Amino acid sequence: MTPKLRFFLYCCAVLLLGLILLQSSVNAAQQNILQQQLQGIENNKLMLGQSEIASTDMIRDVYQYNQYKLFWQNKELVDTLLNTIRESYQQGLDPEDYHLAELNTRLKKGFKQSGIQGAQLDILLTDALLRLSYHLIFGKVVPADLDADWNLRRDFLTKDPVAKINYILQSDVRLKKFFRQSINTGPFYQGLIKALAQYRQIQKNGGWQSVPSGATIKPGMTDSRILQIKARLYATGDLKKKTSVQAEHIYDASIEAGVKHFQQRHNIDADGVIGKGTLAMMNIPVAQRIDQIRANLERIRWVKQNIEEEFVLVNIAGFKVYYVKDNKLVWKSRAQVGKEYRKTPVFKSDINYLVFNPTWTVPPTILRNDVLPKIKRDIGYLKKKNMSVLDFKGNIINPANVNWSSISAKGFPYMIRQEPGPTNSLGRVKIMFPNKQMVYLHDTPSKANFKKVERAFSSGCIRIENPFELVELLLKDSNKWNQASFKGILDSGKLKNVNLPQTVPVLLLYFTAQLNEDGEVIFFKDIYKRDEKIVEGLRQPFQFTMPGKR
């Protein structure tokens, strides 16, 4: 090696070392600036421009874990976050919850910035990620704030979310994978996303006009409102094509098919008759339907962590019970749920045993409001309903020896028990799962009510139309447990408890929008008036509440 070459290489090495030291100095300075920005947190608040950093404690921990280095120095990483923020609108969320406008403004100067501006941009991007992750994983609205019975699991990222955030921000590939895992890809959620886009497009096109009230319209009749009804059905795809204007006022067969399709999608008797109920559903504004879909997308985000490969699901608002096994729907049945003033609660539990030929002990509320007043009017009511009077030691008391006129429900000194039999309020079987509300699934003698579209008739428990079909599936041994063996147990008239071979999760949930078998959105009446509170919550400013805080 010549002296000149040796000197040249020496100079290059010195220059390279100088550049490394300079970059290290720049990085250290940038880290100090970022740390100083985070030291500006007071009372768990930090404002950067017009944007408030919501997750201050976690932001501080995330950067401390990363030694206050900048995360967002890769354009693909930034683009992935921004694209996912924009796409959140399609899921019924608000991109402005994730600093979209502020980020767009700051990023006009480029994604690599230095000094205070670089530190603030990085913090904003990280906070946007945390906010978006929070909403994608379990929703914006805290369900326990709306329902004291809520007990479903809420886990944010992992047991160590700080390490998880640092891990996923190491590469664009990891961030994309994280978003793919966080966004629900199930057919229910994706179907409602499609429905939301459909109804937003309808709104963009001008929505639909209200159909005037008037006399009931039956197939074959002529009515001046038929043109408006056709337009209304066409707007939502219930009428697949516009019919000939030659019969513009005649309620013909093609329109009848569209009306029946509309009625089925809105949980109305699909009789083709356009009466007050059908018109009321037609005249609900498109904006309200959009809100309804958004509320139910939020409900799915609440529960998606609690969905397993096998479970029983009650949709309270839809009056249906479903059994899913190996992620496939294997059984469904109509159900009756709690009246508006005796609501069926929302919660999760595990079915662990069955009771054949159950007795029914009258609960205090029903005793006070229903049973005791009827006994006072007619003591024969007890015999008609196959009911016994017991003391608290379990001894049967002769009702004729009780001075009913002097007894009130408060401090009632007895128990009223309905004995097993076909007229028992619980029917011939009940499906049990632990819960403080004393709610369960059960058979019922009130079979006629299953023919009605709206079935809020119970005192909170869930009555099933075909309970023994579900019982056979839960017991998972058709040789031992089948309809013939069930009949033998029932004919004995004796109460019998049977444990399940393994517990099965049961979720009592409330959805006012879901999909039919063709993937079309169907709407249910909000019988407990719960949608508006969710919609209002979605409109509120972002609030970060870690699981377990409420």
Residue pLDDT, tens place only, 431-450 = 999 999 989 999 999 999 99
The CATH number of domain 318-359+422-509, selected from 3.40.50.1220, 2.40.440.10, 2.40.50.100, 3.40.640.10: 2.40.440.10
Nearest to 188 by CA among 300, 311, 321: 300
Rg (CA), the chain: 31
Q: Which two tokens stand for residue 234?
A: 């066409």
Superfamily for 211-282?
Answer: PGBD-like superfamily/PGBD (1.10.101.10)
Give the CA angle between residues 393, 397, 400 to the nearest 5°. 160
Mean pLDDT by 10 residues, the chain (550 residues): 60 45 59 88 83 89 94 95 98 97 94 89 96 93 91 77 93 95 89 98 96 96 95 95 68 96 97 97 98 98 90 98 95 97 95 97 90 95 95 94 92 95 94 95 96 94 97 95 95 96 97 96 97 97 70
Taking the CA atoms of 170, 174, 178 and 180 in sequence, report the sign of the dihedral they define. positive
Contacts of 189 by beta carbon, 8 Å cutoff, 6+ apart: 297, 300, 304
Please answer whether residues 457 and 451 qualify as being in contact, where contact means their C-beta atoms are separated by less than 8 angstroms.
Answer: no
What are the DSSP E strand ranges found in 28-110? Answer: 47-48, 51-52
Q: What Cα–Cα distance (Å) separates residue 393 from each residue in 115, 389, 397, 418?
A: 78, 11, 11, 17
Residue pLDDT, tens place only, 140-191 = 999 999 998 899 877 766 678 899 999 999 999 999 999 998 888 889 999 9
pTM given for the model: 0.90
Please answer whether residues 143 and 91 qualify as being in contact, where contact means their C-beta atoms are separated by less than 8 angstroms.
Answer: no
Q: Which two tokens stand for residue 450?
A: 């299953």
Q: What Cα–Cα distance (Å) separates residue 117 from each residue in 86, 111, 113?
A: 23, 10, 6
Cα(470)–Cα(213) distance, integer angstroms: 44
Please answer whether residues 208 and 202 qualify as being in contact, where contact means their C-beta atoms are separated by less than 8 angstroms.
Answer: yes
Cα(30)–Cα(543) distance, integer angstroms: 29
Domain residue ranges in the chain: 16-184, 211-282, 318-359+422-509, 360-419
Q: Which two tokens stand for residue 15?
A: 């220059």
Cα(432)–Cα(350) distance, integer angstroms: 8
Please answer whether residues 56 and 45 qualify as being in contact, where contact means their C-beta atoms are separated by less than 8 angstroms.
Answer: yes
Residue pLDDT, tens place only, 339-379 = 999 999 999 999 999 999 999 999 888 899 999 999 999 99
Phi, psi of 506 (to 5 degrees): -130, 130
Cα(241)–Cα(255) distance, integer angstroms: 10
